[in-house]
Amino acid sequence: MKILVYIDLQNGVPTSLSRELVNGARGLVGSGGTVDLALFGADASVAGDLGADRILHGAAPSDYTSARHGAWLDRAIDESKPDLVLLGYTTSGLDLGPAVAMRRDLPLASYCAAVRPGDGTVEVDSSIYGGKLVSTVSAALPAILLINAGAFEEAGASAAGSAKIVELAAPDAGAEASISFIAASTPDPNAIDITKASRLLCVGRGIGSEDAIEEAREAAELMGAELVGSRPIVDAGWLPKERQVGKSGRKVKPKLYLSLGVSGAPEHIEGMGSAEFIVAINTDANAPIFDHAHVGAVVDVADFLPAFKEALGKKAG
């Protein structure tokens, strides 16, 4: 079996998810198979220690654009002729995977949490409906998979320099003419860094209304925690972006993570699943957050918050 892994870069180096994908691909192909990397916009050496057989390198500008990387990925697929193309379930994975699948008429599965190659097919388990159900899908090879963070272990560095570097011929520049990169932005260094806090109180959609934010803030203060939120809370404008936990926010690993009204979609778990002690309060006993929490209770946040504040006050008493 041959697998092509698209490498996502952040600050010029492969992301931890890309490292997971390469390690996963190594396991899937076994000893007789080949793992190729598709690496565009950085020196090939940045992926030299990932453990691939070949690095299919595109000497593209360092700035990612969907059109440019789509055109380069087509070149890499032509060169590799893989059975599977693995991309992370990330912004670039979304930009590139389905568009390539449509152009090439290849099957695709998204949100993959487990991958089982078969004879001419691949079977995957995908986490859908916010993590509440698992969809098992079988696809004929070649196929494209968008893989969730955590589906595979991240590999340690292997011996650098063992991968063969193949320079790809540049695609036609016409494809990228309509999208041009202006500027990148990184997290504001002056904003609060929630990744440094040892205790976090996280509010999710289940807190109900913006009025409850103030009450949650008071509870956070009483317990010596920073107040953070899941994506819907930030999208609603109830908390600033720098306080968002999850895939599109920050990845945190506090000693205590108290979640109030957070359902626990995979995108949220990706941001907090490795917290040391997780407490979940939610009215839905089937919410996926209870699969990740150490302690939980099925109660309404609106009832819990005032009682929690009172109990904290008594303890401090």
Partner 1 sequence: MHIAVILRIVPDLAEELEIAENGTEIDREWIGLKLNEFDDHALEEAILVKEQTGARVTAIALAGDGAERQLQTAIARGADDATVVKHDLDGAIESRTAAHLLGPVLRKLGVDVVMTGVQTPEDVFGQLAPFLAGALDWPVLNAVNGISVADATMTINQEYSGGYSARFAVKAPVVLGIQTASKPPRYVSGSKLRQASSATIEAATSELPGGFVPQSVSKLSEPERGTRARILDGKAEQVAAQLVDLLAEQGLVGA
Pick out residues in 16-55 that bind partner 1 (CB under 8 A): none
In whole angstroms, how close is the CB of 242 to partner 1 at the nearest point? Answer: 7
Pick out residues in 206-265 that bind partner 1 (CB under 8 A): 222-224, 232, 235-237, 241-242, 247-251, 255-256, 263
In this structure, which amino acid lies at residue 75? R
Contact stretch for partner 1 (CB under 8 A) within 27-35, 73-81, 123-131, 166-174: 123-131
Q: How far apart are CA 131 and CA 241, in angstroms?
A: 23
Helix (H, G, I), strand (E, B) or coil at 158: coil
Pick out residues in 48-107 that bind partner 1 (CB under 8 A): 63-67, 70, 90-92, 94-103, 107
Selected from 13, 134, 157, 170, the binder of partner 1 by CB under 8 A is 134
The closest of 235, 243, 288, 294 to 266, measured between CA atoms, is 288
In whole angstroms, how close is the CB of 160 to partner 1 at the nearest point? Answer: 25
Q: What is the DSSP letter of 153?
A: P
296 lies in the binding site for partner 1 (CB under 8 A): yes
In whole angstroms, how close is the CB of 172 to partner 1 at the nearest point? Answer: 13
Q: Where do we find the tokens 């055109």? A: 71
Q: How far apart are CA 26 and CA 51, in angstroms?
A: 8
Nearer to partner 1, 165 or 213 (CB): 213
In whole angstroms, how close is the CB of 162 to partner 1 at the nearest point? Answer: 29
Q: Other CB atoms closer than 10 Å to residue 102's CB: what's the count?
A: 10
Q: What is the DSSP letter of 248?
A: T
Burial class, 222, CB count within 10 angstroms (exposed 0-12 / middle 13-18 / buried 19+): middle
Contact 216, 260 (CB under 8 A): yes
How many residues of this chain bind partner 1 (CB under 8 A)? Answer: 100
Nearer to partner 1, 58 or 266 (CB): 266
Q: Other CB atoms closer than 10 Å to residue 109's CB: what's the count?
A: 23
Contact 312, 222 (CB under 8 A): yes
In whole angstroms, how close is the CB of 15 to partner 1 at the nearest point? Answer: 8
Selected from 23, 80, 127, 230, the binder of partner 1 by CB under 8 A is 127
Nearer to partner 1, 163 or 227 (CB): 227
Nearer to partner 1, 48 or 152 (CB): 152
Nearer to partner 1, 54 or 132 (CB): 132
In whole angstroms, how close is the CB of 48 to partner 1 at the nearest point? Answer: 23
In whole angstroms, how close is the CB of 237 to partner 1 at the nearest point? Answer: 5
**Residue spans of beta strands (DSSP E) within 68-157:** 84-88, 108-117, 121-128, 133-140, 143-147
Nearer to partner 1, 26 or 69 (CB): 69
The closest of 28, 7, 11, 15 to 163, measured between CA atoms, is 7
Selected from 126, 156, 229, 253, the binder of partner 1 by CB under 8 A is 126
Nearer to partner 1, 59 or 99 (CB): 99
Q: How far apart are CA 233 and CA 49, in angstroms?
A: 39
Selected from 75, 132, 217, 253, the binder of partner 1 by CB under 8 A is 132
Instruction: Provide the angle, in degrees to the nearest 10, between the axes of the packed helices 91-104 and 66-80.
Output: 60
Nearer to partner 1, 136 or 162 (CB): 136
Contact 301, 206 (CB under 8 A): yes
